[in-house]
Amino acid sequence: MINDQAPAAPSVHGAAPSVTGSAAARFAAGLLVLACAGVTGLFAPLLVMASDNCFEGDARTICTPGGQQLVGTLPVAAAFVAALLAVVGMSRGGPVGRGCLLAAPCLLVLSWVVSYAVAGA
């Protein structure tokens, strides 16, 4: 016996938000941050060469061993931390991923600003 009075199955709507766009954007932003971290880690320590024109008794910060150490190591450390933040940002979604992807370039810019300030002062 066929029951024509059976309720129809509820319809399924394909209105789920697209995850592909946000994942692709996170990946692209992460790759860009990784590239900037690589450039920072390779080239920013070369600012130590600003101490080439130092002479005996020069009071500039770049002419002190501490200033040279700061300009040499700060960008490398910042690049390493920024690369870690970029990888976390690419792999995690939501506010944690966005926060990591926003913090990484800020850290790189801060390391460049401090290095230029010490090298140019």
pLDDT at 23: 84
- Total domains, the chain: 1
Residue 19 lies in a domain: no
Is 85:103 a contact under the CB 8 Å cutoff?
A: yes
Residue 45 lies in a domain: yes
pLDDT at 2: 63
pLDDT at 56: 84
Tokens of 47: 């600012």
- DSSP for 37-50 reads HHHHHHHGGGGGGG
Count CA atoms within 13 Å of residue 15 on its CB side.
Answer: 3
Determine the number of helices (DSSP H) and then strands (DSSP E) in the chain: 3, 0
Q: Residues 20-48: pLDDT tens digits?
A: 558 888 899 999 999 999 999 898 888 88
Residue 5 lies in a domain: no
* pLDDT level of residue 11 (50, 70, 90 thresholds): low
Average model confidence (pLDDT) across the chain: 84
Of 80 and 20, the one with more pLDDT: 80
Give the angle 80-81-83 at the CA atoms, nearest 5°. Answer: 65
Count CA atoms within 13 Å of residue 95 on its CB side.
Answer: 0
Closest CA to 62 of 84, 41, 46, 83: 46
Structural domain including 91 reads 33-120
pLDDT at 12: 61
